[in-house]
Amino acid sequence: MDLNANKIIRTICYFTDNPTPKTFALLDKIGEPLLAAGYEIQTKRVCSSSIKKIKELDLKFTDESHCFAVGTLDVEEVRAQLDGLLATKDVSFNIDLTQKRIEQADAQILFEIIEREPRKTANFAYVFNNEPQTPFFPSASYQRDGFSIGLQPTDLSEDCQTLDEWLSKLKSAWDEIFEICKKDGGFLGIDSSIAPLFREKGSLVNFIKRLGFDFSQSVTTDTYLKVTNFIKGYNPKPVGLCGLMFPCLEDFELADEYEKGNFSIERNVYLALHSGLGIDTYPIGIDERPEMVLGVLNLVQGLSNKYKKPLSVRFVSDGRAKVGENSDFKISYLRDVVVKAL
């Protein structure tokens, strides 16, 4: 099957407890046969629990195609390390609240980031029952050495007339990547999560519309369940989250639906519960009530634990926009919107 020019790897992420500049040479070597097979590699990432070494690499290497993560930290670690993390160029981290009694102070960490370094809200998430070794940031967390691969698979839907046609292309891409990487002892697997980006062929909402649905209508069909069942069942070497992402501001046509009132926080939670991975790049006003964030965190924690399902919460702010005002993120992969109340 010809996958044409839409073979896009969002990221190859290397996990190591000892990150050094040589890690990038290793990532380059991993990428060579994938590039030869016609894949575009957007980013190469490194995740390690060694905060000190990650910060050192961030100072030297961060650019549009290289970024870093220190994985999962507890609340006390975040408070101790926050100054340093906010001073980095592109280092992601998350807080695991799966079993913690969530307090207002936990929600306040988000508002502190908004006040001090709002751009870093895109690098931070709360996670629940998280799966390690996902290459997608900020949910990534280190468990063992090796590398995992995540795609931007919505682009493969270009020219597809049916859902099955797209899913068949996904499987062909996974199988090809598996055959290329399987002999590498460090290959941890493929995170087959659906990670949309921008408009048209990169947008999941655009594809749903091409199938003949409007977005609101699609929410009460089993379309998304079919996708998640497929990506979990036909991935030859699954690792990480392997779920359906609804990144509110990264999928620009989903952002359009948000502005129309069709992607409320309630609908986001509903889709996350049955098919998705949580609340992702969801806009928040600087004047949003902290108790609303606390309520969302408690709800997502409860649902994640009830259904033993990985979920996360990533709110983003530009540090200026209040509820009812236009955002101005100045980040190319986030669409600006009129921010709504939670």
Amino acid at 336: D
Stretch 307-325: mean pLDDT: 97
Q: Give the tens place of pLDDT for each residue, 149-190.
A: 999 999 999 989 999 999 999 999 999 999 999 999 999 999
Sign of CA dihedral 187, 311, 306, 48: positive
Six-digit token string for 314: 């990533």
Stretch 113-137: mean pLDDT: 96
Stretch 55-68: mean pLDDT: 84
Q: Is the pLDDT of residue 63 over 90?
A: no
- Mean pLDDT (the chain, rounded): 94
Q: Is the pLDDT of residue 1 over 50?
A: no
Q: Give the tens place of pLDDT for each residue, 247-301.
A: 999 999 999 999 999 999 999 999 999 899 999 999 999 999 999 999 999 999 9
Q: Is the pLDDT of residue 60 over 90?
A: no
Buried-exposed string 158-184: b where 16+ CB fall within 10 A, e elsewhere: bebeebeebbbbbbebbebbbebbeee
- State residue 3's pLDDT score: 52
CATH numbers and ranges of domains, the chain:
4-316 (3.20.70.20)
Q: Give the tens place of pLDDT for each residue, 217-230.
A: 999 999 999 999 99
- State residue 82's pLDDT score: 94
Stretch 47-67: mean pLDDT: 87
pLDDT-based confidence at 335, cuts 50/70/90? very high
- State residue 167's pLDDT score: 97
Query: How do strand 311-316 and strand 124-128 relate by DSSP bridges?
Result: antiparallel
Stretch 88-115: mean pLDDT: 95
Per-residue H/E/C for the chain: CCCHHHCEEEEEEEECCCCCCHHHHHHHHHHHHHHHCCCEEEEEEEECCCHHHHHHHHHHHCECCEEEEEEEECHHHHHHHHHHHHCCCCEEEEEECCCCCCCHHHHHHHHHHHHHCHHHHHHEEEEECCCCCCCCCCCCCCCCCEEEEEECHHHHHCCCCCHHHHHHHHHHHHHHHHHHHCCCCCEEEEECCECCCECHHHCHHHHHHHCCCCHHHHHCCCHHHHHHHHHHHCCCCECCCCCECCECCCEHHHHHHHHCCCCCHHHHHHHHHHCECEEEEEECCCCCCHHHHHHHHHHHHHHHHHHCCCEEEEEECCCCCCCCCECCCCCCCCCCCECCCC
